[in-house]
Amino acid sequence: MQFEGPSRTALGAARHRAAHQLLEFGRIFADPLALRILGEDSETVAREAEENPSGRMMRIFIAVRTRFAEDALAAAVERGVRQLVILGAGLDTYAYRGAMRQRLRVFEVDHPATQAWKRRRLTEASIPLPPCLTFAPIDFERETLAAGLDDAGFDPAQQTFFTWLGVVPYLTEEAVWSTLGFIAGLPGGAHVVFDYSDPPDSLTPEMRALHEKRAARVAELGEPWVNYFEPDQLRAKLMGLGFRTVEDLGPPQIAARYSPNRAVSIPEKGGHILRAATI
Ligand SMILES: C[S@@+](CC[C@H](N)C(=O)[O-])C[C@H]1O[C@@H](n2cnc3c(N)ncnc32)[C@H](O)[C@@H]1O
């Protein structure tokens, strides 16, 4: 992906998180800074989300992936994790409000153009930078995560948790496997949470039509989806890299865990959220 300015999809994801606070009252994922970092008027955010009911599924998915990642992080901190790396952070607010942040060194990694924009947004919103935080501007397609994190003072001997939310679909397969290979090889041990989608040709006709509409929209923004995974092949490849546990929630598991009382039929295929660990 070539950026001329900050990532437009990072702004879109932040709008969904803010709308989730207003329309679902943060039921799945509560973020007291979601509106503040966005810097947009709450009535406009709520109205625009309500005017676009087909965006609900993506809004809930974004709330779920963030909640899943932060719950897994909290459990990992209890088991000894002391570093958090937020890959493709966008307007993620964990470093500024997260319950476990005092026990962590946090590295926010993002494309330089998006990270510079976020830093301006933080200043404009008067959100202070916590002492635990280090920014690491890295373009995953042009430089290795290893070199970028090394420059930022990352300690590979410490057990580390990586979140990588809403990024994998935009990257080449080569960039994805190079990053996962680095994470799997860390001597201190590592956990990673990322989301991905089943290949479009495996979706039901309804889901495929919705997928194509969204894919056209992100492509118009200059950030096309280029990467999909078949779950069994992905799991096998992760285990081959050295991950010892893989937890992968597809649409039915996500619905059962986060919306158990919602009586709608759930497709088998669609967006997944996955946690893998080497220890
Ligand atoms: C859809 S946004 C998700 C942002 C955030 N994780 C969230 O959930 O709100 C995609 C993020 O991936 C980052 N990204 C995409 N391609 C990248 C690249 N080649 N190098 C670094 N970051 C990249 C963008 O800058 C953006 O922050």
Ligand 1 atom at minimum distance from 141 CA: 19
Ligand 1 center to 164 CA (angstroms) = 8
Side-chain half-sphere CA neighbours of 46 within 13 A: 9
Sheet with strand 160-164: strands edge to edge: 133-137, 105-110, 83-87, 160-164, 190-197, 271-277, 245-249
Ligand 1 center to 171 CA (angstroms) = 9
Pocket test for ligand 1, best of 20, 58, 61, 114 (most atoms within 8 A of CB): 114
Is 195 buried (19+), middle (13-18) or exposed (0-12) by CB count in 10 A?
A: buried
Whole-model pTM: value is: 0.96
Token reading at 128 = 């202070």
φ, ψ of residue 87 to 5 degrees: the values are: -85, 130
What pLDDT does residue 263 have? 64
What pLDDT does residue 1 have? 57
Alpha-carbon separation of residue 96 from 33, 106, 108, 166 (angstroms): 8, 10, 11, 20
Pocket test for ligand 1, best of 170, 179, 217 (most atoms within 8 A of CB): 170
Asked if residue 141 has its Cβ within 6 Å of ligand 1, the reply is yes
Asked if residue 98 has its Cβ within 6 Å of ligand 1, the reply is no
Contact 248, 270 (CB under 8 A): no
Contact 274, 249 (CB under 8 A): yes
Can you tell me the distance from the alpha carbon of 4 to that of 86, in angstroms, rounded to the nearest whole number? 22
What pLDDT does residue 274 have? 98
What pLDDT does residue 108 have? 98
Asked if residue 278 has its Cβ within 6 Å of ligand 1, the reply is no
What pLDDT does residue 77 have? 97
Contact 163, 88 (CB under 8 A): no
Instruction: List the one residue out of 50, 60, 48 whose CA is nearest residue 20.
Output: 60
Asked if residue 69 has its Cβ within 6 Å of ligand 1, the reply is no
Contact 59, 95 (CB under 8 A): no
- The series of mean pLDDT values per 10 residues for the chain, 279 residues long, is 79 98 98 98 98 94 98 97 98 97 97 96 98 94 92 97 97 94 98 98 94 94 95 98 98 93 84 97
Asked if residue 195 has its Cβ within 6 Å of ligand 1, the reply is no
Pocket test for ligand 1, best of 167, 217, 227 (most atoms within 8 A of CB): 167
